[in-house]
Structure 1
Amino acid sequence: MLEMAIVVLKSNIGYIYSTRAHSSTFHASYRHTKTIIFPSKGPEMSSSQSLPEACDVVIVGAGPAGLATALLLAQQQSPRWERIVLLEKRPSIDAEEADKSYTYMIDGRGFSLTDSAGVTKAVEAAGVICSGLSISRVYPDGTYSERRFNFKDSSRASVWLPRRAFLRALHSGLAEAEQQGRVRIMYDAKVTNIELAAPGRGHASAAVLPIAVHVREAGGAGRELCFTPRLLVGADGAASEVRQALELWAPTAGLPEGTFSPVVLDSPSAGLRYKVLNLPPNPPFRTKQQPPQQQKKKEQQQEQATVSAGGSGSSHRVLPNSQLASVAGIKAPRQRAMQLGMLPFRDPSSPRTANVIAPSDHVFWTLDTGEKLGAFLQASLLESFPQLDVSALFNEQQLEAAAKSRGGSFPRPQYMRHFIAVLPYTPRDSDQQFAAAAAAASSSCGVVLLGDAIHCFPPDLGQGVNSAMQDVMEFAKALHAADGNLARALPLYEGRRAPEAAALAEIMTFGAPYQYSQDKIQLTLCGLNVILRMFLHRLAPKVFSQQTFVLIQQAEMSYAQIRDQVHATTRRIWALVGALAVALGALAVKFALAAGTGTLAVA
């Protein structure tokens, strides 16, 4: 039972950090006439280099949040968003760094958006549908086991799929709008300047609307363009350029310093480094012909039936792409011990990826050549993974590329308290092209952030993409409720999502931070905590909540409700411990007094 809890750790009561949820909203007040320019690293563009192009929406970032926003806006009928421009710095919709290729688990929160957008079938067709949690594990001696755990709510199926597959599914919903010319995606597009100006003053490059976005195309002739949208959406990640522009603009609007700065928390998993190793499809490994003796006879027969023919000592089998798997390394000191995690892929012919997650002082990060990496993975004396045939998984060029790749690191949990700005403006009578837009928006423009731009954290509970999809859904609902009036819709959206962003970031400080085995003692304690919460919930389900991982899958619950339930259960556990301690103390005193009385009577 303890091993089960440790392998799939999903809760922890020992690391709870207190944060405050801020749900206040604000309207940007324009009392200044100075134009704020967000400079890029490149040279500035003058107004003579590009004529401003009016549009309804500019979305910076064509990742999951950006594509989902374009998809829902394109589907809205009242008001109708006719000109939507997405700016993506990558060369294509599915381009990604090989050592940072992500796999998403889309749960009920993510499906709320795909259902609304009509792309759920495309998502399911591209991924592995999982109604439970089953993990295949390969041990250093070649022992193979497959276990199913009860941590996951089997009534709520999830879908595992690569990031590029999810982007393609979202993009498929934009096909008609792109053909109609209502949606335009620009790749290799670098945002160079973002101008936010006061009403009545305008820009040299944007005579009417108070927002101007300058862009340089990387390919071809390197054109420089300028867009003047009614709505600017920042879906450009944790290092959002749109957010940086808001930070520079805020003081001129009379807003306090730090209004658009994130609140940063801490987590035991923050700072862990990761790298993705690319493997061939269905990677092979060495295994014993005889499975562990503790497994049932039926399981032994099934295991033997799937093992390829081999010698008397060992043989080979494969890890199918569709299986969630873990390959354990040999027992070693903390700075050398490691394991490989493999998330499921639907395509059996697709190259497999293995995730390496380890502390920054791990020896793995010193392996800067292919020769060193190959020796670490499987050398004659110090092999870390004797069950793997490294020569069958990598050639020399692949090992060298893997050693040279940078990988990444898990961020500290953080969230934004404010992430919208309403920019009023008064169109001139001669600006006929903006008459309808002004009527729909009540003479307001706006800036809004979504997804990682307002909350980011380690991937402990798989909520990054799912919470981003919820952001987009709530934004679309706010627009609909306000009939497209940005002055009402943006504060409504912020008021709903700001408390959720704060709660989600806090959940990440205690949800499952030790699942990466960076601290064996804490991992064991957290496993015991999981068992305790499971037992107490079964004993008194109305008093003690389920563990964090199960609660997080219940899409009908808000993140604030989940956080509050977990904290309430923690308080009740400590109250129970205190009551037991008092009872045991009273019992000890009673026995001591009884023993003393008996001694006196004998005397």
Structure 2
Amino acid sequence: MSRFTTTNIHQQPPQCPASRRNVLIVGGGPAGLATALMLAKRGWTEITVLERRRAANDYEPDKSFNYLIDARGQQLTDLLGLTDLLSKIGVPASEFQITRIQPNGDRKTIKQSFNDPKPAYWLFRSAFLQLLYQEIEHHWAHQITVLFNRRCVAINKTIEDTVETLEVVVESENSSVPERFQPTLLIGCDGIQSIVRSTLNTWDHSGKFEVEQLPSPSSGLRYKALRLPPNFPLDAEAKNHAVSTQSYGIRGKFRERRRALSLGLLPIKDQDVPRPAMLINWADHQLWQLKTGEEVLNFLESAFPQLPLRQFIAPQEADRFAESEGGTFPIPQFCSGLHYLLPCPSKRHDQSMSGVLLLGDAAHCFPPDIGQGVNSALEDVYVLHQVLSEHEDDLARSLPVYEAERSPDVEGLVRLVQIAAPWQYNQAPLRTKLWFMGSVIRLGLSKLLPFISPPIAFSVRDPQYSYRDLWLGEQRTSRILSGMSWMGFIGLLGIVVLLLQH
């Protein structure tokens, strides 16, 4: 069960001693900006965030996907006082509703309610980043500095008066002279290729910063985003249009492995911006071999005869899509080590201890199968806030406790992602149908038999259940279902034997 409690967001932060100053956060994505805001609310000062993007509103086409911020992630937005703003720019997801459109034009809408503890919200990744950045600009600019167009290139340990300190070397395209920082607290929010984590792995020889990878059927899938109008026509006569606040799964007509394709669209609130349609499939799919926009349009026209694609996909967008590198779903992975403390002589009471911490994708990364990428990162930050509160922001006590409490959840989360819903992308239609049927059967059994847990999608959004508890429940249910299957098989075999005897 969760250890979390509600915190008064209007409470004044304590006065900042020397130990609560000089923080460097590598990575200005959701985890990095959220961490900066949390520390600022706690009274920390001199917080610097390094971000590779050129500006806060720098558009990244290959990252124009949606987030679903659920109750787990909203623990932190509640703390920061941002959930009301989140509800204004997001589409509530009190129930899952998707319209499937077949190649012949037939449509079917499926609805599934979730017993979420509070509404979750769909919104663009860019919109969420802007929400966090504007909160910094409007209320915390005196404590937080975000430096764009910066790249961390080295992290060193230096000696000052017999005491080890951190030195971080940073480069910028605008200057040939590297910047150097000496933070008290260095936080790695720099993603799957984290230089912070790789540096810790060279410093610490215990192996806890080695990444453990777990195979998954969805890892290695490639994706690209095709930008469509928010309310594009669903037929040649334009009698029906897509609704921007609804989800769509548009099936292609091809069945061959290297040609089969689906278009997936998630809800958006802003009807004045392009709507990304995600195309996800195997790395050797024919779509990824197309070099020009005209080739892309010809292929998509053949794959999706139910849509008048040339009516709403501009040649410039097709060209951009063809030139885009897209992205690849990572292998589910994590490291058990989340913190590192530099030794501090016990006699030096005037010297603050320096520490390093890993959050978000730098510590755990996986495909978006159960929608917990951003939510787990926000929960990382919330757990850190709770631990800092319990130990009066003392890094020497807080960071080891954070690792001890969070590391089991990190492993449980990644193991859940490995098996929960890897076939949902229709990359193998038969496996997708079997996975869907299995989920429906298990959901029905969970309603009849209380000792069987429902599919992970129905419980993972509730923060009262830790990821580790959910993983243990998943293992228990798998053993029960396996035993029931064997009992059923043996019983059926016995019936066959009796019939043969008679």
TM-score in terms of structure 1 length: 0.76
Match of 1:359 in 2: 282
Alpha-carbon offset, residue 201 of structure 1: 4.4
Picking from 326, 334, 343, the partner of 1:415 is 334
CA distance in 2 between counterparts of 1:328 and 1:283 reads 16
Segment of structure 1 superposing worse, 192-201 or 156-165: 192-201
1:264 matched to 2:213? The reply is yes
Match of 1:132 in 2: 95
Cα pair distance change 1:580/1:427, threshold 3 Å: closer
* Matching residue's letter, 2:85: A
CA distance in 2 between counterparts of 1:494 and 1:182 reads 26
Picking from 172, 197, 202, the partner of 1:217 is 172
Deviations 1:322-345 (A, max 9, x none): 111122211431211111111111
CA distance in 2 between counterparts of 1:97 and 1:393 reads 21
1:317 aligned counterpart, secondary structure: coil
Deviations 1:440-484 (A, max 9, x none): xxx311000000000000100100000001111111111111111
Match of 1:24 in 2: none
CA distance in 2 between counterparts of 1:326 and 1:528 reads 17
CA distance in 2 between counterparts of 1:177 and 1:405 reads 37
Cα pair distance change 1:495/1:134, threshold 3 Å: same
Alpha-carbon offset, residue 522 of structure 1: 1.9
CA distance in 2 between counterparts of 1:530 and 1:63 reads 33
Within 5 Å, give how 1:567-582 maps onto structure 2: 567-582=475-490
Segment of structure 1 superposing worse, 492-501 or 475-484: 475-484
Alpha-carbon offset, residue 277 of structure 1: 0.8
Conserved 8 A contact 1:194-1:211: yes
Alpha-carbon offset, residue 67 of structure 1: 0.7
Conserved 8 A contact 1:132-1:157: no
CA distance in 2 between counterparts of 1:575 and 1:222 reads 65
CA distance in 2 between counterparts of 1:235 and 1:211 reads 17
Picking from 339, 343, 355, the partner of 2:262 is 339
Within 5 Å, give how 1:381-530 maps onto structure 2: 383-425=302-344, 435=350, 438=351, 443-530=352-439
Within 5 Å, give how 1:156-175 maps onto structure 2: 156-175=118-137
Deviations 1:30-54 (A, max 9, x none): xxxxxxxxxxxxxxxxxxxxxxxx9
* Matching residue's letter, 1:182: Q
Conserved 8 A contact 2:116-2:462: no
Alpha-carbon offset, residue 549 of structure 1: 0.9
Conserved 8 A contact 1:444-1:487: yes
Within 5 Å, give how 1:203-214 maps onto structure 2: 210-214=165-169
Match of 1:377 in 2: 300
1:240 matched to 2:240? The reply is no
Deviations 1:328-380 (A, max 9, x none): 211431211111111111011111111000101211111111121111011xx
Match of 2:244 in 1: 321
CA distance in 2 between counterparts of 1:329 and 1:590 reads 49
Deviations 1:99-141 (A, max 9, x none): 3312100011110000011111111111111100011222222
CA distance in 1 between counterparts of 2:492 and 2:122 reads 49
Conserved 8 A contact 1:134-1:324: yes
Match of 1:565 in 2: 473
CA distance in 2 between counterparts of 1:507 and 1:539 reads 23
Match of 2:182 in 1: 228
1:104 matched to 2:67? The reply is yes
Match of 1:58 in 2: 24
CA distance in 2 between counterparts of 1:586 and 1:511 reads 33
Alpha-carbon offset, residue 529 of structure 1: 1.5
TM-score in terms of structure 2 length: 0.91
CA distance in 2 between counterparts of 1:585 and 1:516 reads 36
Alpha-carbon offset, residue 579 of structure 1: 2.2
Deviations 1:387-432 (A, max 9, x none): 2222222222221111011101100000111121011335999xxx
CA distance in 2 between counterparts of 1:211 and 1:278 reads 43
Deviations 1:22-80 (A, max 9, x none): xxxxxxxxxxxxxxxxxxxxxxxxxxxxxxxx95200011110001111110011xxx3
Conserved 8 A contact 1:63-1:167: yes
1:136 aligned counterpart, secondary structure: strand
CA distance in 2 between counterparts of 1:132 and 1:549 reads 12
Cα pair distance change 1:285/1:591, threshold 3 Å: closer
Match of 1:119 in 2: 82
Greater RCO, CA 8 A, separation 6+: 1
CA distance in 2 between counterparts of 1:414 and 1:345 reads 30
* Matching residue's letter, 1:58: L
> Which structure is larger by alpha-carbon Rg, 1 or 2?
1
RMSD value over aligned CA atoms?
Answer: 2.2
Cα pair distance change 1:589/1:198, threshold 3 Å: farther
Within 5 Å, give how 1:271-290 maps onto structure 2: 271-286=220-235
CA distance in 2 between counterparts of 1:414 and 1:94 reads 30
* Matching residue's letter, 1:140: P
Alpha-carbon offset, residue 195 of structure 1: 1.1
Conserved 8 A contact 1:111-1:120: yes
1:552 aligned counterpart, secondary structure: coil
CA distance in 2 between counterparts of 1:487 and 1:230 reads 12
Cα pair distance change 1:394/1:574, threshold 3 Å: same
Picking from 35, 38, 41, the partner of 1:69 is 35
Cα pair distance change 1:327/1:372, threshold 3 Å: same
Conserved 8 A contact 1:210-1:425: no
Conserved 8 A contact 1:89-1:190: yes
Structure 2 gap ranges (5+): 1-19
CA distance in 1 between counterparts of 2:479 and 2:122 reads 35
1:322 aligned counterpart, secondary structure: coil
CA distance in 2 between counterparts of 1:375 and 1:588 reads 55
Deviations 1:236-280 (A, max 9, x none): 111111112212222xxxx33x33111011000010000011122
Match of 1:95 in 2: 58
Picking from 142, 148, 152, the partner of 1:191 is 152
Deviations 1:194-216 (A, max 9, x none): 112467546xxxxxx61011222
CA distance in 2 between counterparts of 1:547 and 1:166 reads 28
Match of 1:12 in 2: none
Match of 2:491 in 1: 583
Q: How many residues align?
A: 483
Conserved 8 A contact 2:47-2:145: yes
